[in-house]
Amino acid sequence: MAILMAQQAWNSFLWPLIVMRTGNMFPLTIGLNSLLTPCGNNYDMLIAGSCAASVPIIIIFFFFQRFFISGLSAGGIKG
């Protein structure tokens, strides 16, 4: 559950976009979305930011991997 909740908080997009008005408080997902413009896209920064954004979730998964796998196997066994 901790992995899924951390991923949900990390990938929040709509609520911070509605609530926050200053650019220095935006989460990383909105910052990455601001790199996509109608005039031109900054793909090199977008790919680098996407890789940097995935690192914390991967680290959290490696710390909680055994709990995640045991929960999946406990829920998948019939009987």
Q: How far apart are CA 46 and CA 51, in angstroms?
A: 9
Task: State the pLDDT at residue 57.
Answer: 84
30 neighbors 13 (Cβ within 8 angstroms): yes
Structure tokens given for 45: 């920064």
For the chain, 79 residues long, the average pLDDT of each consecutive 10-residue run is 78 78 78 82 88 87 84 72
Dihedrals φ, ψ of 38, to 5°? -65, -30
The reported pTM is 0.62
Residues 6 or more apart in contact with residue 7 via CB below 8 angstroms:
57, 60
